[in-house]
A and B are shown apart, each in its own frame.
Chain A
């Protein structure tokens, strides 16, 4: 009985905004592992974030060393690192121990991990093909991925300077949108609802964000298609880097016009 109720208490800590691969693979696995370890006092969310980073570094090292067996091992470690990455947030929410430190530490290590994996993979592809193209693909992909993330925070930074409540307002809007089209899938929901949810989640693949990278990286490592994966990575990040920049710029521009119009509306 204790186990079942623990699972029920843990389930709501799963992030409803989970990215594609984590949504139905790594995050549920993380919940299951948390069922066992969440009450171990010596473990803390920040310690798990550390383990996640160390696992990611180990995976990158294995990729650089190379060899079929190491590649498969690295693919496993990349997924393990991502499971740990999902576990830290769940544990923090479960124990009501969420902190700004933990949130920041988690985001920063995520950024480092993505870079380490792609840099290592590009290096391995360079050794295989003896051409520098993979390195430049990783170069372009990594810079545009970080541009994509950066424009989000620059937008918040600029908007907050003009409107202190911007963050709260936008998270309220996000919550409203989410609850409007939320499918009540999950524990206790029937298989039909869960299947519908699962199918709907598949659209998230095309967002090409971190969780999708975890899948693509491990698939490439297992099958050996390193260069095609890097092409997919670079081109998707070029697309999203510029689309997100355009969207954020437009959003700021329109908000600014709205602010100009405000006194006239009276």
Chain B
């Protein structure tokens, strides 16, 4: 596991609604952690292990297809 994944203690992460995503790549261009990418030109994908839940992608997404979700608490 990479260091930035191990150090990720955020409580929230971004989640993509694939049915609505237009794969424009706005989320990937604004993500400060480079956690967002476009999968096969079909939709955006967020690496939840890297995502810190800052919400920048959700704010920038023109199709409003990204929402923040709470991480499940272990134990």
Task: Note whether A and B form a binding pair.
Answer: no
Chain A residues proximal to chain B, CB less than 8 Å: none
Chain B residues proximal to chain A, CB less than 8 Å: none
